[in-house]
Structure 1
Amino acid sequence: MNARFQYITNQDSLHQLCRQIDEDKVVAFDTEFVAEDSYRPELCLLQVAVPDGIYVIDPYTLDSLDPFWNQLTSSETQVVVHAGREETLFCYRATQKLIPNLFDIQLAAAFLGHEYPASYANLVHRYTGVNLDKEETRSDWRKRPLSNQQLQYAAQDVKDLLRLHRSMEKELGKLDRVHWVREETSRWQEDLEQFESSENWFRISGIQALSGNSLSIVRALWMWREQRAKERDLPARKVLRDDLLIELARRGNGDERRMASLRGMEHRHVKQLIPELAKVIADALDHPIPSWPRKARYGKGQPPAMLTQFLSAALAYICRTKRISPSVVATADDLRDFVKYRLDGSDPDIPPPSLVTGWRAEIIGRELDDLLSGRLAMVLDNPDSDMPIRFHRIAP
């Protein structure tokens, strides 16, 4: 089924749309972008839905998208997305602001008991019965002119967003979970902002095997690579691969001959960087070893595997009975942190784990506490049932 839309290719039309959003106080949007050839994902198309219609915006034909991004950061605008990580980042990079009233239908679906993460096509089918056409998933959205089929595909990606938002918000209201979704959305955006504004050298695959001066080198090489990638508008991995960066740091010196003998350094675009890399490494050795941002640790060692497996089964039962996706509630690490925190005691200098604060404590933390303390038991009820276990309250 075709989606009717207006195609925006000039600044006046964009301003008119922004005035419409300001009046409606609600907007849904999606993006088409290409990420593999540039330092940041290249925005190729914006699809926008407001109550009276759909708009497809061509950023290549406009002087600036700032009016649109600024409208999204207004405290009076409700913004609806699906799996909106990149959409949120496009807005943040343009404005240095988070979206105050963001509603992500993928996240909201998890709080209604649907699978997480759920695709947009699956959610649309579940709520409307419509099957979306996904033939243009691998389109090169940078090429112009765009075909009518591409534009239709783009428009369909926002056609039902506002409808799904209304339905889900109503369901969440009945379950008294609107505030849970808002809390989780705020936390998710804050994590995204921290990731965007922080040095992320410690996230490179393989860094766990490094220590001492090697950490100084890997940080210096990461910062150098980020700067070069930004200057050349290339993905960082195309400047210097992660595995080469880690190996250079592990070797711990700037000997150019040894660097040249490393497999992977023989490629022309990398080989010509060797003198520059040698200088970066030499300079790094004159700097203090950087501190490693580490995840909060609770207690000592690991809790018994059988205990966390037991609580994992309890988590599945609670989430099933309370209609919420386990994937959004807790990971295996979250359960281990919870057990260590409860068994070994708390440290006032370390923030408590996620399962004892906020909405997670409200929906699951108290029952896990009761299980650990023996006030609640988990028993086999019906082996033939989809949910063969149940909880049994222990009398004091």
Structure 2
Amino acid sequence: MAIDIHWIRDDVSLAQHCAEWQRLPYVALDTEFMRVDTFYPIAGLLQICDGARVYLLDPLLIQDWTAFTALLEDPAVIKVLHACSEDLEVFLRLTGSLPVPLFDTQLAAAYLNLGFSMGYSRLVQAVLGIDLPKGETRSDWLQRPLSQTQISYAAEDALHLAEVFEALRPKLSAEKTAWLLEDGAELVVNLRREIDPDEVYREAKLAWKLSPAQLAVLRELCAWREREARARNQPRNRIIRENSLWPLARTQPDNLVALARIDDMHPKTVRQDGEFILTLIKQVAATPASEWPQALPEPLPMEAAALLKELRAIGQREAERLDMAPELMLRKKTLEALLKSGYPNGPYQLPESLRGWRRELMGQALLDSLAAQPQEEQA
């Protein structure tokens, strides 16, 4: 199949095309990038399909992304992507903006109960009956010239994305389309919400087992690691490996030999940042107790599992009624946050993470189910 491919390699051409695309109801977008040893993705290629032609944008040559930003933010043009969290990072890094409204075909498949978290090739096969060639995903997208195989792979992806959108969209009710776009907007909001380095420690494995004094060390180590990863543009694990954080906070070594013995500690970290890490630990250990974070709540006990199952069943019933993938309904983290708000005897509060249509549809049912639990069962 011959695809009509157009290259865009300069600012003027990009601006002209963006003006044309802004007159369309939708554009399908895809990106190819490299992220081997950097914190931020490096864009290698951007693909746009208007439903008929595919345009390949060269981010190594284009300097001015103003017109493209206007297209991304144009509320009248739907931006179609698939499983787009990394693509969003590429757009944000390259242009400083993010696509709205956003229609994610992976989510659309779940709303139509075709499958949850479907990979792109599987979705194209299920919807269009086309088998996509694999093989170029991991290739070097920063090399120039790109190989013919890379070019057709990238163009084909964008073209089929538009075809999948045109096949799925008519099958979605107005209600489901609105919910899908709401989920897309949520993805964008979450990505815009810059991670606060001082809050990262809350997500660290086993952090709840540490005392407030140890947590103070973990908080500073996690915050420093996050800031350094961004500043050096290196993956977090290049700064300090994930598995070293907890033992560092727990044992608080005071010399390089003890530091080097920490679980999973990379010798390069000891050489490059060892003295700094030891100083940081020492400084935090000297802070007054009033500045330590509070102990983190323990995970829910095993006995809560049955309750969790009952709450999940509420989502499953709604999914069956609406013919949607059950995984779309209630996230495990949300249900755990709900239980933690009042376990074992209540009162319970709906967590902030339960928003929009999910809250309207299932919020009250969740609270009613918890209120109906016999007290002794929960004790």
Alignment partner, residue 378 of structure 1? none
Give the partner amino acid of 1:118: M
Pairwise CA distance, 1:124: 1.8
Q: 1: distance between equivalents of 2:28 and 2:331? A: 30
Q: Which structure 2 residues correspond to residues 57-136 of structure 1 after superposition, within 5 A?
A: 57-94=57-94, 97-136=97-136
Q: 2: distance between equivalents of 1:75 and 1:359? A: 21
C-alpha change, 1:306 and 1:243, in structure 2 (3 Å) is: closer
Alignment partner, residue 375 of structure 2? none
Alignment partner, residue 390 of structure 1? none
Pairwise CA distance, 1:40: 0.9
Give the partner amino acid of 1:48: I
Give the partner amino acid of 2:293: P
Q: 2: distance between equivalents of 1:170 and 1:118? A: 19
C-alpha change, 1:318 and 1:26, in structure 2 (3 Å) is: closer
Give the partner amino acid of 1:241: R
Residues 45-91 of structure 1 show CA distances to partners (whole Å, capped at 9, x for unaligned) of 11111244111112112224443234202223321111111122233
Q: Which structure 2 residues correspond to residues 361-380 of structure 1 after superposition, within 5 A?
A: none
Give the partner amino acid of 1:178: T
C-alpha change, 1:272 and 1:132, in structure 2 (3 Å) is: closer
Alignment partner, residue 161 of structure 2? 161
C-alpha change, 1:62 and 1:264, in structure 2 (3 Å) is: same
The answer to whether the 8 A contact 2:3-2:53 is kept is: no
Q: 2: distance between equivalents of 1:272 and 1:354? A: 39
C-alpha change, 1:294 and 1:359, in structure 2 (3 Å) is: farther
| Aligned partner of residue 205 in structure 1, secondary structure | coil
Q: Which structure 2 residues correspond to residues 1-396 of structure 1 after superposition, within 5 A?
A: 1-94=1-94, 97-173=97-173, 176-194=175-193, 196=195, 199-262=199-262, 265=265, 267-268=267-268, 270-287=270-287, 288-290=291-293, 305-310=305-310, 312=312, 315-335=315-335, 344=345, 346=347, 350-352=349-351, 358-360=356-358
Pairwise CA distance, 1:195: 5.5
Q: 1: distance between equivalents of 2:212 and 2:370? A: 40
Pairwise CA distance, 1:189: 2.7
Give the partner amino acid of 1:183: E
Pairwise CA distance, 1:325: 0.3
1-10 or 102-111: bigger deviation: 1-10
Give the partner amino acid of 1:289: W
C-alpha change, 1:108 and 1:216, in structure 2 (3 Å) is: same
The answer to whether the 8 A contact 2:241-2:266 is kept is: no
C-alpha change, 1:22 and 1:285, in structure 2 (3 Å) is: same
Residues 302-327 of structure 1 show CA distances to partners (whole Å, capped at 9, x for unaligned) of 76544543554564454234210011
C-alpha change, 1:151 and 1:37, in structure 2 (3 Å) is: same
Pairwise CA distance, 1:99: 3.1
Give the partner amino acid of 2:292: I
Q: 2: distance between equivalents of 1:293 and 1:17? A: 52
C-alpha change, 1:207 and 1:336, in structure 2 (3 Å) is: closer
C-alpha change, 1:5 and 1:302, in structure 2 (3 Å) is: same
| Aligned partner of residue 219 in structure 1, secondary structure | helix
Q: 1: distance between equivalents of 2:262 and 2:343? A: 48
C-alpha change, 1:181 and 1:272, in structure 2 (3 Å) is: closer
The answer to whether the 8 A contact 1:47-1:56 is kept is: yes
Alignment partner, residue 393 of structure 1? none
Q: 2: distance between equivalents of 1:263 and 1:294? A: 25
Q: 2: distance between equivalents of 1:293 and 1:14? A: 50
Q: 1: distance between equivalents of 2:63 and 2:2? A: 29
Q: 2: distance between equivalents of 1:306 and 1:205? A: 24
The answer to whether the 8 A contact 2:316-2:329 is kept is: no
The answer to whether the 8 A contact 1:254-1:277 is kept is: no
List alignment gaps of at least 5 residues for structure 2. Answer: 373-379
C-alpha change, 1:367 and 1:243, in structure 2 (3 Å) is: closer
Residues 123-174 of structure 1 show CA distances to partners (whole Å, capped at 9, x for unaligned) of 2222222221122122122222210101110111110223322332322236
The answer to whether the 8 A contact 1:59-1:65 is kept is: no
Give the partner amino acid of 2:236: A
Pairwise CA distance, 1:269: 5.2
| Aligned partner of residue 37 in structure 1, secondary structure | coil
Q: 2: distance between equivalents of 1:367 and 1:219? A: 37
Q: 2: distance between equivalents of 1:244 and 1:184? A: 35
Alignment RMSD: 3.4
Q: 2: distance between equivalents of 1:2 and 1:324? A: 36
Give the partner amino acid of 1:276: F
